[in-house]
Chains A and B, each alone.
Chain A
Amino acid sequence: MTATNTITSVNDLVIKFANVNGSGSASANNMFAKAVFRMGLSVSPKNIFPSNIQGLPTWYEVRVSDKGYIGRRGGIDIMVCVNPQSMAKDIQEVSPGGFFIYDNTKPMDLRLLRNDITFIGLPLMRICLDEYNDDRQRQLFKNVIYVGALAALINIEFDVLTGLIADQFEGKEKLIAPNIHAMELGFQYAQKHYQCPLSISLQRRDNLGDKILMDGNTACGLGAVYGGATMAGWYPITPSTSVVEGYEKYCKRLRIDPGTGKNNYAIIQAEDELAAIGMVIGASWNGARAFTATSGPGISLMSEFLGLAYFAEIPTVLIDVQRAGPSTGMPTRTQQSDITACAYASHGDTKHVLVFPSTPKECFDMTAEAFDLAEQLQTPIIMLTDLDLGMNDTMSDPLDWDDSRQYKRGKVFTAEDLESMSERFGRYVDVDGDGIPYRTYPGTHPTKGSFFTRGTSRDEYAVYTEDGSEYEKNMQRLLKKWETAKKYVPAPEIIIAEKGSSIGVLHFGTSTDATMEAIDYLTRDGLAVDSCRIRAFPFNQEIEDFIDSHRTVFVVEQNRDAQMRSLLVNDCEINPKHLIPVLNYDGMPITASFIQGKIVDYMDRAKVTPLRKDSANDNTANL
C-alpha cells in the first residue's frame, strides 16, 4: 500500500529497526549507522533493548540530522521491521507519511494495514532460503540483506558499505565476499521492485570535521587508562559493564610491561559491589589509582563504604552509569535518577563530589580528571553518566591528551618530607587552611608518618577519641574542603542568547543535546533562552549567579523527583519556586520537542513575556 502523501526529506530522518534480541542484528544496524557517519552526516543511534539475552524484541533507532542534532527526535519516518512479534505495535508507531519496510515472505495480516503510510515488502526469508543452506547463515545474512536494500531505498553509498565490511572483517577476509554478496542481493531486490530512492533519502555532506563515533563507556574505560588507574574492582551490571570491559580492552593493548610481559594493571571481578568498592578504597588508601563502575543498585550497596571513604578521606573514583531503578523493571532503559542517592550517599553528614559528562570526549576527559580530583580532594568522586551516553555510539569531538600533563597526586608526604619535618605528622591537620590535609602512603618511612585509618572517632593526629568537640572540628574542616572543591571541579558551560534573556535553562549530561536543540526551536519561534550546563556538584558560584540573573529558570532532567533541582535548592539556598522542573522519566532519552513543549506550556500559563537581559536585571530585586 502506498500513501499519497509521503514524508519528503534529505538527510533528516529517524529510522527504527525492530529486531529479535540475539539474532545478530546489532552488527548490521551498527554498520548502517556507521555508513551514514562515513557519508559525512550527523548520526545518532540508540539501542532500545530488553533485559534479556535472546528472543525478545529489541529496537535500534537512528536519527540523521543535517543540522547536526544528535538528541533523540521522536517520531519514526522509516520502520524496518524484522520481528513479527512486534509488528502490530511497530506499524502503529510510524509517523503519517512514513514507510514501513518488512519481511513479506509470509503474507501480512491485512487488518494491520494503514493507508497513511507506505508499506515496502522485502522477501528476506525467501531470499535467504533460496541462497543459503545453513540456518545460522540464513539468520545472519538476513540482516545484511536489509542493509543492502536500504542502500537502494534511501541512497546509502554502496562503496561506503563495502568499505565497512572490509574493516569489520579485517583478519577474516574470507567473510568479506559473502557479506558483500548478501548486501547486493538486498540492493538489487529493492532497485528492481521499488522506485529508488524513496522521498526520504541521504546525500553525502562534509558536516563532521574530525568527529568520532564512540560510546561513553568505552571512553570512560580509556580515560581510566590515560588517567593512570592501575586497579579496577567491579561487579557486572548493565549498563556499566562495558566501562571495565573497555578499560580491560585498552589495558591489554597499552599496559603490558615490555620487559616482563606482565600487566601494569589489576582487574578484579568482585563478589558484589560491596567488595568492588572495598577493593578500590583499599588500593587507593595504599597509593594506587583505582576505580569501579556500577549502576543504581550497586550504588545502594556501595553506600556504606562511600561514607567511610568520605570520613577517612580516601580518594575513590566511581562511575555510575545510570539506568531506570531496580533490577527488575527497566534495567536496560536510561535515566538520570541516581543524583540524590549519589550526592548524599551513606551515613552521617556526607556529601560527595559529582561530575556530569555529556559526550564521549567528556567521559574520557572527566574520568582521567576524576583521579586527579579524587587525590587532590582526598574524597570519592562520582561520575554520573547514563545508559544513553554509556551504551550508544555517540558523535563526539576527537579525544586528545597533552603529553606534558602530569598526574596531580594531591598532598602526600614522602619519606624525605617526613624526615625534614620538625612537627609531629598529623593525618587530619589542616596545614594549608583549605581543609585538605596531607596523607602518607603506607610503608613510607620506618618510624614516621604511620597512622591508623578509621571513620571519625579520632583526632587530627588520627589517634582514637570519642570527644565531641574533636568530631565537630573535623566536620567543620570537611565543610571547608567542600568549599575548596568548588574551585577544583569542572566549571559550568554557559551560553547566553544573542541579546541575552530572562529565561534560563539548566541542563546536564544526556539532557544537553535535546535541550540545545529545543533552545534552537524556541529561538526560531521568537523566545530567546540562555543556558547553563552543569558539569559538577558542588555547584560553583557561576551557577548560582546564572540562576540569580534569570527571572525564569528551567531545570531539565530525566527523573521524576527533580533531583538536580533539589540539590540546587538545598545547596545554593534557592527559592524552589524559582526553579521550574522539566522532567522526562519514561526510560527513553529525552527529546527536544518534549522540552520545547514544556517550556512553551509554562510560558503560556505564566503569561510571562520574555524580557531582555537588562530588564531582567532590573527585576531581580523583586524575585
Chain B
Amino acid sequence: MSYLKPSFRHPDLPVNDLGYTKKNYEGAISTLCAGCGHDSISSAITQAIFELSIAPHNIAKMSGIGCSSKTPTYFLGNSHGFNSVHGRMPSVATGANMANRDMIYVGVSGDGDTASIGMGQFTHAVRRNVNMMYIVENNGCYGLTKGQDSATSDVGSKSKKGDPNPFEPIDLASIALQLGATFVARSFSGDKEQLIPLIKAAIAHQGFAFIDVVSPCVTFNNNPGSTKGYEYVRDHLAATGTVDFVPMKDEITTSYEAGTSQEVTLHDGSVVHLHKADSRLDIHSRRSALALIKDYKANDQLLTGLLYMDPDSQELHETIQSSNKPLRALTELDLCPGNKVLTSINASLR
C-alpha cells in the first residue's frame, strides 16, 4: 500500500516562483526500508524541481522495475509516472519524449535495471541523446529480489548474505562517457548538497543527462565488506568539486579564483559553475573524465560530482528534425493528406 499524505498545509511554507509550496512536489509516503538511500534521492529530486519552479505536471516520471523504480510514487504526486518493464524504461521514455518534446522527463532506474537487463536500452538511449535526466540509484545489488549482486558490484565486495563478488564491475558513468553521453555526473545519496545542484543542471541540460548516484541498500548491502555501504562510501568519497547551478533569471554573484573553476552556460541561459577540487578535470573533455575516474578508483576512491557536459549537444528531436510543436498536439489537419492525394496515389499504382 502507499498512503496519501495529510494535506494540512502551514500558511508560512515557502513558495517558489510559480506559487507552489514544496508539498505540491511531494508524493505518497515511501514504503521503502527506513534508511534506504533511494528515499534521499527522491527528496533531492523533489527539492531540486521545487527550487527550479517547474510546474509538476510538466514532468513525466519514467522508471523500470526495482525498489529504485518504485520511488517515483514517492515524489511529484502531481506528475504522471510510468513504472514500466524491468530494464526497459529507456525505450518507453524515448517514445514518450517523441510524443511531446515540451515536457521534462525524469528517469529513475536501478543498477540491476540499467547495468544488466536494461544495458542494451540504456546504451542506445545514451547514443541517441534523448532529452531526459536519467538517474541510476546504484546500490550494487538487486534490492527488490532480496540482495543478489548486481553488475556494478565491485570485485571482492560482500553483500549481507553473499560471498565476495568475483566479477568485474560495470562503471556506468564511464560507459556513458564512452557512448557519448552529453552530461555525466556521479553522486552519493547521502550528499544532498552535491546532488541537488547536479539534478538541477541535469534537468536544464538539453540531451541525455546521466547521474550515477550511489545509494546504499540498508537491508542487503550495507554491511562491512560491502563497497556500496554508507560507511565505506563516506570514507572513500572524493569530489571533482562543488557545483553551483544558477538559473538564467538569477545573477551570478559568487566569484571564483581563476584556474580552479569552470563555468558552463546552458542553452536556456542558466549557468553551471564547477569549483574544482582537482584542477586536472576539464568538464568538456571525456578523456579527462575517464582518466580521473580511473585514477581515483586506483586509489580506492570514488570520484563524484560533475564529470562531463556538452552544453551544445544536439538532442534527438533536433537530430531527426521533428516538428517544433509536440507530435501529440498535431491534428487531422496536420496529419491526414486527404482523399485527393489518395486519388493521385491510386493513379500511380495502375
Using CB atoms and an 8 Å cutoff, list the residues of chain A in contact with chain B: 37-38, 210-214, 222, 225-226, 228, 230-231, 233, 254-255, 257, 260, 262-268, 270-272, 274-288, 290, 304-305, 308, 398-403, 405-407, 440-447, 450-455, 463-466
Give the distance in Å from the alpha carbon of A290 to the alpha carbon of B335 in the complex.
13
Contacting pair B98 A442 (CB below 8 A): no
Report if B22 contacts A (CB, 8 A): no
Using CB atoms and an 8 Å cutoff, list the residues of chain B in contact with chain A: 1-2, 4, 24, 28, 55-58, 60-62, 72-73, 77-85, 88, 90-100, 102-103, 120-121, 123-124, 128, 317, 320-325, 327-328, 330, 332, 334-339, 341-342, 345-346, 349-350
Given contacts A282-B82, A445-B57, A450-B77, contact A263 B322 (CB under 8 A): yes
Given contacts A222-B345, A271-B124, A442-B103, contact A288 B339 (CB under 8 A): no
27 A–B pairs (Cβ distance < 8 Å), ordered by A: A212-B350, A225-B336, A225-B337, A230-B99, A231-B95, A257-B334, A260-B324, A262-B324, A266-B98, A271-B121, A274-B120, A274-B121, A286-B96, A286-B97, A287-B99, A398-B346, A398-B349, A403-B339, A443-B100, A446-B78, A447-B57, A450-B79, A452-B82, A453-B81, A453-B83, A454-B83, A463-B4
Given contacts A447-B78, A464-B1, contact A260 B323 (CB under 8 A): yes
Complex: chain A residue closest to B82, CB-CB: A453
Contacting pair B342 A290 (CB below 8 A): no
Q: Which of A37, A267, A279, A305 has the most CB of B within 10 A?
A: A279
A294 to chain B, nearest CB (A): 14
A169 to chain B, nearest CB (A): 15
Given contacts A38-B350, A275-B120, contact A444 B57 (CB under 8 A): yes
Contacting pair A262 B321 (CB below 8 A): yes
On chain B, the residues within 8 Å of A284 by CB distance are 95, 99
- Taking a contact as CB atoms closer than 8 A, the residue among A230, A254, A272 that contacts B341 in the complex is A254
On chain B, the residues within 8 Å of A305 by CB distance are 85, 88
Contacting pair A226 B337 (CB below 8 A): yes
Contacting pair A442 B88 (CB below 8 A): no
Contacting pair A270 B124 (CB below 8 A): yes
Chain A residues touching B, majority SS? loop
Contacting pair A285 B92 (CB below 8 A): yes
Contacting pair B80 A282 (CB below 8 A): no
Complex: chain A residue closest to B58, CB-CB: A443
Give the distance in Å from the alpha carbon of A454 to the alpha carbon of B61 in the complex.
12
- Taking a contact as CB atoms closer than 8 A, the residue among A268, A278, A455 that contacts B121 in the complex is A278
Closest 6 pairs (CB-CB, A-B):
A282-B95, A278-B91, A442-B80, A279-B95, A288-B99, A286-B99
Contacting pair B350 A279 (CB below 8 A): no
Give the distance in Å from the alpha carbon of A464 to the alpha carbon of B73 in the complex.
9
- Taking a contact as CB atoms closer than 8 A, the residue among A262, A442, A446 that contacts B60 in the complex is A442
Give the distance in Å from the alpha carbon of A401 to the alpha carbon of B342 in the complex.
7
Contacting pair B98 A288 (CB below 8 A): yes
On chain B, the residues within 8 Å of A453 by CB distance are 80-84
Contacting pair B322 A266 (CB below 8 A): yes
Give the distance in Å from the alpha carbon of A473 to the alpha carbon of B319 in the complex.
45
Contacting pair B332 A407 (CB below 8 A): yes
On chain B, the residues within 8 Å of A233 by CB distance are 91, 94-95
- Apart from A230-B330, A257-B323, what 8 extra A-B contacts exist at CB < 8 Å? A222-B345, A233-B95, A263-B323, A275-B90, A405-B332, A447-B78, A450-B77, A450-B79
On chain B, the residues within 8 Å of A280 by CB distance are 95
Given contacts A233-B91, A279-B91, A284-B95, contact A37 B350 (CB under 8 A): yes
Contacting pair B339 A262 (CB below 8 A): no
On chain B, the residues within 8 Å of A211 by CB distance are 350
- Taking a contact as CB atoms closer than 8 A, the residue among B56, B77, B91, B342 that contacts A399 in the complex is B342
Contacting pair B99 A290 (CB below 8 A): yes
On chain A, the residues within 8 Å of B80 by CB distance are 440, 442-443, 450-453
Contacting pair B73 A278 (CB below 8 A): no
Complex: chain A residue closest to B27, CB-CB: A452
On chain A, the residues within 8 Å of B323 by CB distance are 257, 260, 262-264
- Taking a contact as CB atoms closer than 8 A, the residue among A222, A265, A275, A450 that contacts B88 in the complex is A275
Give the distance in Å from the alpha carbon of A308 to the alpha carbon of B82 in the complex.
11
- Taking a contact as CB atoms closer than 8 A, the residue among A231, A286, A443 that contacts B57 in the complex is A443
Given contacts A272-B120, A443-B57, contact A266 B327 (CB under 8 A): yes
Complex: chain B residue closest to A262, CB-CB: B323
Given contacts A230-B327, A263-B320, A278-B84, contact A452 B95 (CB under 8 A): no
On chain A, the residues within 8 Å of B81 by CB distance are 450-453
Contacting pair B337 A282 (CB below 8 A): no
Give the distance in Å from the alpha carbon of A268 to the alpha carbon of B327 in the complex.
14
Give the distance in Å from the alpha carbon of A347 to the alpha carbon of B91 in the complex.
20
Q: Which of A282, A398, A444, A454 has the most CB of B within 10 A?
A: A282
On chain A, the residues within 8 Å of B321 by CB distance are 262-263
On chain B, the residues within 8 Å of A255 by CB distance are 335
On chain B, the residues within 8 Å of A308 by CB distance are 84-85
A283 to chain B, nearest CB (A): 4
Contacting pair B327 A264 (CB below 8 A): yes
Give the distance in Å from the alpha carbon of A464 to the alpha carbon of B27 in the complex.
13
Contacting pair A450 B336 (CB below 8 A): no
Contacting pair A278 B92 (CB below 8 A): yes
Give the distance in Å from the alpha carbon of A407 to the alpha carbon of B330 in the complex.
12
B209 to chain A, nearest CB (A): 18
A188 to chain B, nearest CB (A): 29
Contacting pair A282 B350 (CB below 8 A): no
On chain A, the residues within 8 Å of B72 by CB distance are 452
B345 to chain A, nearest CB (A): 7
Contacting pair A274 B98 (CB below 8 A): no
Contacting pair B124 A275 (CB below 8 A): yes
Contacting pair A213 B349 (CB below 8 A): yes
Complex: chain B residue closest to A399, CB-CB: B342
Give the distance in Å from the alpha carbon of A465 to the alpha carbon of B27 in the complex.
16
Give the distance in Å from the alpha carbon of A255 to the alpha carbon of B323 in the complex.
10
Contacting pair A231 B98 (CB below 8 A): yes
On chain B, the residues within 8 Å of A450 by CB distance are 56-57, 77-81
Contacting pair A288 B327 (CB below 8 A): yes
Contacting pair B83 A287 (CB below 8 A): no
On chain B, the residues within 8 Å of A441 by CB distance are 328
Give the distance in Å from the alpha carbon of A452 to the alpha carbon of B350 in the complex.
51
On chain B, the residues within 8 Å of A445 by CB distance are 57
Contacting pair A399 B346 (CB below 8 A): yes
Give the distance in Å from the alpha carbon of A412 to the alpha carbon of B228 in the complex.
45
Contacting pair B92 A446 (CB below 8 A): no
B311 to chain A, nearest CB (A): 23
- Taking a contact as CB atoms closer than 8 A, the residue among B95, B102, B121, B336 that contacts A401 in the complex is B336
Given contacts A442-B80, A446-B78, A447-B78, contact A287 B322 (CB under 8 A): no
B206 to chain A, nearest CB (A): 17
A623 to chain B, nearest CB (A): 45
On chain A, the residues within 8 Å of B332 by CB distance are 228, 405-407
B267 to chain A, nearest CB (A): 18
A415 to chain B, nearest CB (A): 10
On chain B, the residues within 8 Å of A288 by CB distance are 98-100, 327-328
